[in-house]
């Protein structure tokens, strides 16, 4: 029984750093894909219509900010997970 408790404690000790690492890694997948699409499409739009580049760039930054928010939650969780 004591061994089992020890084993459980060991599992927690080993699992927490792995979990902390995984939290940010997994949280970054979605926003990474999203920001990639977003920036790619913005470049495409700017190349097609250079006179609209200013407006596209502003909208792109706003979109990136929203997509990035999800990755930031992962970053915060990294510090919250104990």
Partner 1 sequence: MIIGSLASIDTPPAPPHGFPAPDTSIFDYTKSCLVGGGPFCLTKISLLMILSAVIIVALFVIGARKRQVVPRGSQNLVEAFVDMVRGSIVLEVMGPAGLPFLPFLTALFIFIWLNNSWGIIPFAQIPTTSRMAVPAFLSALVWVVFNVVGIVKQGGWHYLKGILFPSGVPWYIYPLVTPIELVSTFLVRPLTLAVRLAANMIAGHLILTIFAVGTWYLASHFALASGFGKAVGVFAIPAFALEVAMTAFEVLVAFLQAYIFTILTAVYISGAMSSEH
Q: Footprint of partner 1 on this chain (CB under 8 A)?
A: 54-55, 58, 61-62, 64-65, 68-69, 72, 75-76, 79
DSSP the chain: -HHHHHHHHHHHHHHHHHHHHHHHHHHHHHHHHHHHHHHHHHHHHHHH-GGGHHHHHHHHHHHHHHHHHHHHHHHHHHHH--
Cβ proximity to partner 1: between 22 and 53 the closer is 53
Cβ proximity to partner 1: between 11 and 76 the closer is 76
Cβ proximity to partner 1: between 7 and 29 the closer is 29
């Amino acid at each position: 029984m004591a061994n089992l408790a020890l084993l459980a404690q060991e599992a927690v000790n080993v699992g927490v750093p792995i979990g902390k690492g995984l939290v940010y890694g997994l949280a970054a997948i979605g926003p990474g894909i999203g920001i990639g699409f977003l920036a790619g499409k913005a470049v495409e739009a700017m190349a097609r219509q250079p006179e609209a580049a200013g407006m596209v760039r502003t909208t792109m930054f706003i979109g990136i900010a929203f997509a990035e928010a999800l990755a930031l939650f992962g970053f915060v969780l990294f510090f919250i997970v104990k």
